[in-house]
Structure 1
């Protein structure tokens, strides 16, 4: 009951604040600029390069599953004379539609600029958990993000650019749940997965309440996602319950304990909002959220140990739900992500 009360307090605070051919290589490697205005269509989904900024390419994808356009940034490796693997770097609850992104709050994208990898960064799907919803939502619309991530996006990326078809995926906060779900839904598509500060256990009362309020923060109704409480879809989509599906995937999972740590200090460069208010929000709100996700993460760890499924867990003794810790966790997880993509870290 103590944990349930802590979660309830956290939720009040939070409320205030391709069916395709993934792995196919359709063309020889080429300079980044050569892909400008290229158009690729697969199974009713369509992708078009619309802009280039240095090594970053913006791709507009018309998703057949959702009937909407999705913008995707792709950072190309410095050397495109040979095929490269792809890392899908997924933003949190805001879906990259706000300023809470890896690119704006960390140096991870710059870090990856020195690696032999395509960095794929989708924009959209805020508060959706990047899953397939059973019903359209009055606020969040039609959400078939699982179909997009598994069947549409990789096939289009692999066809548009020269790739090896060896993929990894990493995400923080809300979408740390999503990447585990995606790995279970299509084993082998993502050879390595990194999840930072997520709540994987979504079907028990505490986990479901967490999901409900995250979705409601964006104005959505989670009953349109997996149905009302007790609907079998909640259990069917719970990564802890279905952890057997993670066998064979290289896993890195991290979480702090909610107590202030090295990045919870005045003037820290990772503060989303500067000044005393920003720091207080990070310590109080971020602390409660991180303590809750740690509970979920420990349950995932116990479940994987029970099933004898190897995984790397970093349960730091301190740290809040914030970017400084996710930047550090990403770099700690990079060797595992690189191993899955079969490249040097």
Structure 2
């Protein structure tokens, strides 16, 4: 749940805005939760996506490519699943070439609520961290909520970011950027939900999944209220997400990482969560928001333990719901992600 980058703000200011928005919407949600850059020429020619002509059998197609530097590019994708154009940022691996006979494993990094596909490169040094790693990295947009899911939309056709990310985007990357079949997924906040939900809902598709301060037990009443506040803040009616928590419970359960934890067997898992802090912490708003996710994260990992599914966990005192913690957690989780990608983790990296 990061600040939307339409006007860039510091993490502290963004956290304050997030908490103010959540507080303003809480009363409503208490009711609605239940009642309602292509590589340089030396590396090979630009792929078809650079001309805006690439497409897949399902109709998804790249309509524009913006080169940011030698390794980083932004794709604009016309997505039938979402029903419009969606952005995705790509970081090419070292030595990438469109003419190569090899393929590269894919790391998918998901943003949080009130943010977008630029967040990872805007807030972290992920480009530098991955500069020596043989992985194709993609950071797709999931809309303002950061939830890569199929929207219920009162039973009418709605945006399906799950299909976009899991099928349409991957096929385009395979067509044009030498993406292989080995994949790992990681995300912050609502993107942490996305990482675990996508891995659970598509067993075997991801070798590893990592959640940093993720929303991992969505049928918990307090967590459902939190999701509702995220939706209200974006001007969306909470029931449009998965329906009513009471009357559409089966849909909520089908999309809840804790309820679907059994489907994560065989996936390398990393879960981190801070305990947050109170009004006397350095960032009281961010600390309170982080602490609000503490119990539900434990519910999720206890469920994994009960199912005898191993996971690397990092529960830590303090912490805020922001990038000051998430960048370090991403680096700490790299050995788990690398294992799922079939890569050597290499020596530990600094913060």
Q: What interval of TM-score do these two structures reach, taking the shorter chain for normalisation?
A: 0.7 to 0.9
RMSD: 2.6
- Bigger shift: 180-189 or 282-291? 282-291
Please tell me whether residue 103 in structure 1 is matched to residue 121 in structure 2.
yes
91, 103, 114: which one aligns with 1:94: 114
* TM-score of the superposed pair, with normalisation by structure 2: 0.79
Please tell me whether residue 343 in structure 1 is matched to residue 339 in structure 2.
no
Give CA-to-partner distance per residue, 1:138-163, whole Å, 9 cap, x none: xxx94211111122111111111112
Matches within 5 A, 1:123-162: 123-127=141-145, 129-135=147-153, 142-162=158-178
| CA drift at 1:31 | 2.8
| CA drift at 1:165 | 1.4
78, 86, 103: which one aligns with 1:83: 103
- Provide runs of 4+ in structure 1 moved above 6 Å: 279-282
Whether contact under 8 Å (1:88, 1:119) holds in the other structure is: yes
Give CA-to-partner distance per residue, 1:222-270, whole Å, 9 cap, x none: 201111131221222111112101111110010111038xxxxxxxxxx
Q: What is the CA–CA distance in structure 1 between the aligned matches of 2:217 and 2:227, rounded to whole Å?
A: 10
Whether contact under 8 Å (1:51, 1:58) holds in the other structure is: yes
| CA drift at 1:124 | 4.5
SS in 2 for 1:150: helix
SS in 2 for 1:194: strand
SS in 1 for 2:204: coil
- Bigger shift: 40-49 or 152-161? 40-49
Q: What is the CA–CA distance in structure 1 between the aligned matches of 2:137 and 2:227, rounded to whole Å?
A: 28
For residue 275 of structure 1, what is the aligned residue in structure 2? none
Whether contact under 8 Å (2:287, 2:318) holds in the other structure is: no
- Bigger shift: 307-316 or 115-124? 115-124
Please tell me whether residue 34 in structure 1 is matched to residue 46 in structure 2.
yes
- Bigger shift: 323-332 or 65-74? 65-74
For residue 212 of structure 1, what is the aligned residue in structure 2? 228
Q: What is the CA–CA distance in structure 2 between the aligned matches of 1:32 and 1:51, rounded to whole Å?
A: 17
Point out where structure 1 has 5 or more consecutive residues left out of the alignment: 1-9, 18-29, 261-278
Q: What is the CA–CA distance in structure 1 between the aligned matches of 2:76 and 2:84, rounded to whole Å?
A: 10
Distance 1:240 1:327, change over 3 A: same
For residue 6 of structure 1, what is the aligned residue in structure 2? none
Q: What is the CA–CA distance in structure 1 between the aligned matches of 2:265 and 2:187, rounded to whole Å?
A: 19
Q: What is the CA–CA distance in structure 1 between the aligned matches of 2:215 and 2:121, rounded to whole Å?
A: 23
